[in-house]
Amino acid sequence: MLSIVVAVGKNNIIGKENGLLWHLPNDLKHFRKITEGHTIIMGRKTFESIGRVLPNRRHIVLTRSSDFQVEGVEKASSIEEVLKLVENEEEAFVIGGGEIYRQFLPLVQRIYMTEVDIEKDADVFFPAIDSLEWKVVEEEPGVLDERNTIPHRFLILERVERS
Ligand SMILES: NC(=O)c1ccc[n+]([C@@H]2O[C@H](COP(=O)([O-])OP(=O)(O)OC[C@H]3O[C@@H](n4cnc5c(N)ncnc54)[C@H](OP(=O)(O)O)[C@@H]3O)[C@@H](O)[C@H]2O)c1
C-alpha cells in the first residue's frame, strides 16, 4: 500500500524556493515516527532540499536524469518503476514534493497530513483533495510550546471505498 506524508499550510502551500515554509520540530518528529523503518519515495528536488540520506529508511528518488547517483539511494525514472520497487511492501511513503504528490495522489490509500495554520507566499502546492473521496479517520491537535509556536494538527485521511 502507498501512503502520502505531507505538511500543508493554508491554501495548500507546501514549499518555496525548494525549502519548507515553517519550522515545526513536532512535525519533523511526527514524520520520523511514521517513516522510520520504511521506504520513502520522493522527487529529486525534495531529496536535494533534505540534503542527505535519512537514517533507517530505504530511499527511492524519482529523476529523469541519468547522472543522478547517490550512495544509499535507489533511483527510479518513472512512477511504474517505483510501483515495482515497492510492490512487496506493506506500506511505503510518498514524501513529496508537489510534482510527486500530484502524480501519486490517485494511487495512494492514506494521507498523513499535518495541517499548519499559516499563510505564506509559496511556489509549491499540495493538490486539492476531493472531500467525497477522502475521509478523516484520525485527528490529533499538535501541542504548542516555545519551539512549536504555530497551531497545527495531525490528520489521517483514508480513501473512501466505493460500493
Ligand atoms: N510541506 C511538505 O510536506 C513538503 C514535503 C516535501 C517537499 N516539500 C517542498 O516541495 C518542494 C519541492 O517540490 P517540487 O514539486 O518542486 O519537486 P519534487 O516533486 O520534489 O521533484 C520534482 C522532480 O522529480 C523528478 N520527477 C518528477 N516526476 C517524475 C517522473 N514521473 N519520473 C521521473 N522523475 C520524475 C524530476 O527530477 P529531474 O528534474 O531530476 O528529472 C523533477 O524535477 C520544495 O519546496 C520542498 O521543500 C514540502
Express each pLDDT in 116-161 by its tens digit. Answer: 999 999 999 999 999 999 999 999 999 999 999 999 999 999 999 8
| Residue nearest to ligand 1 atom 32, measured at CA | 78
Q: Give the position, in ligand 1's atom list, of the atom nearest the Cα of 14.
A: 1
DSSP helix/strand/coil, 28:
helix
Ligand 1 neighbours by CB, cut-off 6 Å: 6-7, 14-16, 18-20, 42-46, 49, 62-65, 77-79, 95-100, 103, 124
In a domain, 1, yes or no: no
Handedness of CA 125, 101, 154, 28 (dihedral sign): negative
In a domain, 75, yes or no: yes
| Contact residues for 25 (Cβ-Cβ < 8 A; gap 6+) | 147, 148
> Is residue 163 predicted with pLDDT exceeding 70?
no
In a domain, 7, yes or no: no
In a domain, 47, yes or no: yes
In a domain, 125, yes or no: yes
DSSP helix/strand/coil, 106:
helix
Q: Are 90 and 1 in contact (CB under 8 A)?
A: yes
Number of domains in the chain: 1
Give tens-digit pLDDT for 17-64.
Answer: 999 999 999 999 999 999 999 999 999 999 999 999 999 999 999 999
Domain of 111, CATH number, reads 3.40.430.10
| Contact residues for 91 (Cβ-Cβ < 8 A; gap 6+) | 1, 2, 3, 38, 110
In a domain, 20, yes or no: no
**How far does residue 41's CA lie from ligand 1's centre (Å)?**
10
In a domain, 70, yes or no: yes
Q: What is residue 76's predicted lDDT score, i.e. its pLDDT?
A: 98
In a domain, 94, yes or no: yes
Could you tell me the residue range of the domain that residue 130 belongs to?
25-153
Measured from the Cβ of residue 150, the count of other Cβ atoms closer than 10 Å reads 15
Query: What CA–CA distance (Å, rounded) separates 33 from 162?
Result: 30
| Residue nearest to ligand 1 atom 44, measured at CA | 18
Residue-averaged pLDDT of the chain: 97
